[in-house]
Amino acid sequence: MAELVMTRTKWNGWIKAISIVVPVLVAALFAVRIEGYDLSFLPPIYASVNAATAVLLVAGLLAIQRGHHRLHQRLMQLCVGLSASFLVMYVAYHMTSDPTPFGGQGAARYAYYVLLVSHILLSIVVLPFVLTTYLRASLGDFPAHRKIAKRTFPIWLYVTVSGVIVYLMISPYYGS
């Protein structure tokens, strides 16, 4: 038990560092503009990655509820990998493209910005939750894993689904 606590403490420092560095780095990279690359094909791809992640998160929940531990583990590993690939594509697109303003009006405009802001804020919040949930499972601390996973799952699912909705709402305005 003491070894588990020591290992968890060591990794918690890394989780805190990553949870600070990643959002700061992403924000800093948004100020970088790289000319000469057309990555306009990426938004539907990274929106599809978000959709796939949402589906696999639900599949992972169903797998663990049915006692399929190995399948759950593989699905969650895939979700982590998909989320990381989403982030790379998202940043690459925004480093090479001008921002796309939302062209909707009235209630749609309000709904878009509420959804966008909540999506961005919760995408920052969910990072340490995902990493901690994954760490606890990797260390075999399943009671602690289950406890935090109950909080991680709905936030992560919201971030993936809201990302798809944000894409669907802004996609008519790409290239305008």
Question: Tens digits of per-residue pLDDT, 104-135?
Answer: 999 999 999 999 999 999 999 999 999 999 99
More confident site: 32 or 118 = 118
Report the pLDDT value the prediction gives residue 99, as an integer from 0 to 100: 86
More confident site: 142 or 6 = 142
Architecture of domain 41-173: Up-down Bundle (1.20)
Report the pLDDT value the prediction gives residue 145, as an integer from 0 to 100: 96
Angle ∠(9,13,18) on CA atoms, nearest 5 = 140
Mean pLDDT of the chain: 92
Report the pLDDT value the prediction gives residue 4, as an integer from 0 to 100: 54
Question: Tens digits of per-residue pLDDT, 55-104?
Answer: 999 999 999 999 999 999 999 999 999 999 999 999 999 999 988 889 99
Each domain of the chain, given as residue ranges in start order, spans 41-173
